[in-house]
Amino acid sequence: MTDLSRRFDVDRMLYQNQRSFAGFLLRILLILAGTFVGSIAVNEFMTPAHILAGGVTGIAQLMGHFTGIGMGTLYFLLNIPLFLLGYRFLGRRFIALTGVGILSFSVFTDVVRIRNLALPQDPLLLSIYAGVLLGISSSIVFRAGGSTGGTDILSLVLNRLTGKSVGGISFALNVVVVLLSMGFFGVDAGLYTLVALFASARVVNSLLHFQHRKTVLIVSSKATEISRRIGERLGRGSTLVAASGAYTGHATSVLMCVLTHLEVPELRELALEVDPQAFITVLDTTEVVGKFRQPVL
């Protein structure tokens, strides 16, 4: 990596300065940028063509269409109980940044309008462009360590309590959104909604190498303390393996933990809080056999 690329490495800036005001401010700015892009996708590409976004956003669009209430306002109201639920069960940093995401997306979708924007008239192109923009928006917000609320919160909480798939809740609600789109706006609109959802998911996959579950390996002499923090703050179990440096011969430990992609930023943060010299790798995990989640009491 060149000196110039190191200087503008966003991940390095985020995670080496996670406890500083500048690091937290950078996260907020990234979330604002991401939600701004998402509001453009919804307001300028999707809503005029009766294309619905997935999850709670799509429900808010549909309610706004029939009630005349601002979509952003409805989105904010729908997220209040979900945010309170997340505050009870999810990490403090994640839920705080998610609150920023919910509020900013709600405001932007009610106030941001781009006049004289030359858009294609083909609804298929609109759905593809909207999906790409939403995927970019979600990727930016996830990379900053937060989310825009909705089914992200609900899925994580249910996963933490039951161990069920995080993606299952989102998939089920998206199916409902597609069916509602077909019922109210016609089959074509529902199919274009499906195209937008698919495009968004593909973009997130590409930008984040997205998998619902991740395996994190942490090499640290303070792995026992990191494991304790993981149990307290994330409710996750972990495995400790005694090891030694191949070159130095110094005794150390390797900690392994399997968790969801949305929990990775907080685990990385707490690990570096305990040991700033920890060596961390994050691996995609396509299948887990066994007890993935202990219920949170």
pLDDT tens digit at each of 297 positions of the chain: 444 334 334 555 555 455 567 778 888 999 999 999 999 999 888 888 888 888 888 889 889 888 989 999 999 999 999 888 888 877 777 888 889 999 999 999 998 887 766 677 788 888 999 999 998 998 888 888 888 888 778 777 776 776 655 556 677 778 888 888 888 888 888 888 889 888 888 887 777 654 567 899 999 989 999 999 888 888 788 889 888 878 787 888 899 998 877 788 888 888 998 999 899 999 887 777 666 654 333
276 exposure class (CB count in 10 Å sphere: 0-12, 13-18, 19+): exposed
Amino acid at site 294? Q
What residue ranges define each of the domains in the chain, with the CATH number in brackets? 3-208 (no CATH), 213-285 (3.30.70.120)
Chain length of the chain: 297
In the structure encoding, which two tokens stand for residue 147, read together? Answer: 């989310």
163 near 291, Cβ under 8 Å?
yes
What is the predicted pLDDT for the residue at 217? 93
160 near 41, Cβ under 8 Å?
no
Alpha-carbon distance of 45 to 268, in angstroms, equals: 36
What is the predicted pLDDT for the residue at 279? 92
Q: What are the backbone dihedrals phi and psi of residue 19, each rounded to the nearest 5 degrees, phi first?
A: -95, -5
Would the CA dihedral through 176, 177, 182, 187 be positive or negative? negative
- List of residues 6+ apart from 286 with CB closer than 8 A: 211, 213
Nearest alpha-carbon partner for 150 in 95, 105, 102: 102
